[in-house]
Amino acid sequence: MPSTAIWRLLYSISLRGAILFLMFTAGSPFAIAQTSKPLDGKPWDLGVWAGGGFSVPGGTKDTHTFNGGVRLGKVLTGDHLGSFLRGNFEWSADFMPVYYVWQPAPAQNTYGAAFNPVNLKWNFTNSAHTVPFLELGGGVLFSNHAVPLNTSHVNFLTHATLGFQFFNNDRRAFTAGVRYEHISNAGLTVPNPGVNTVQFQLGMNWFR
């Protein structure tokens, strides 16, 4: 199956799953009423997620990605600022045992694993049910083939994410986000064209 067809199938499945989940959580008679603001008490953040996307101008073209991972984070502060800017600061780390890259011929598609030890996140906590966030982060990607062609099996990841956490009780949220991610070997090899991608992510987070 061509890589574009695989990506469209994965995107369709993810989008339908998100719609069904939102319909369930919005109308479920088992939803638990919230008794406090989200993220009170500087909780730990445990999450699972999956996502994927496509390359955009500024790097290697015709490249698609799919990845999935687990997250461990910690809300480090109470709420600060006011009005719609009110929020708290969170650190997290992601381990991605699945990071697949579809590359244009003659490059080979590649499987890899990645680790992001530094994600810096601001949670906008003005709402009790929908908590937007902005995140900056980065890490390293190891792959079994060079990404892009004739470069390196080791690359560095940097990203910026805009996301939303939809809480259906005090400590559980469905998460959806759009991530801009840059893949580059930081000069380990020459040339270093890099890959710029836009990725869509879906996940579930528990705050304890």
Cα three-residue angle 121-159-23, rounded to 5 degrees? 65
pLDDT at 3: 47
pLDDT at 12: 53
pLDDT at 34: 43
The residue ranges of the chain whose pLDDT is under 70 are 1-36
pLDDT at 5: 52
pLDDT at 16: 52
In this structure, whether the domain defined by 3-30+42-207 belongs to CATH 2.40.160.20 is answered with: yes
How does pLDDT run across 62-75, given as a tens digit for each residue? 999 999 999 999 99
pLDDT at 38: 75
Q: Are 49 and 201 in contact (CB under 8 A)?
A: yes
pLDDT at 18: 47
Query: What gap in Å lies between CA 145 and CA 127, rounded to an integer?
Result: 45
pLDDT at 25: 41
Query: How far from 31 is each of 27, 34, 170, 171, CA to CA, in Å?
Result: 8, 9, 10, 12
How does pLDDT run across 69-92, given as a tens digit for each residue? 999 999 999 999 888 899 999 999
| Domain range list for the chain | 3-30+42-207
Task: Give the global pTM.
Answer: 0.80
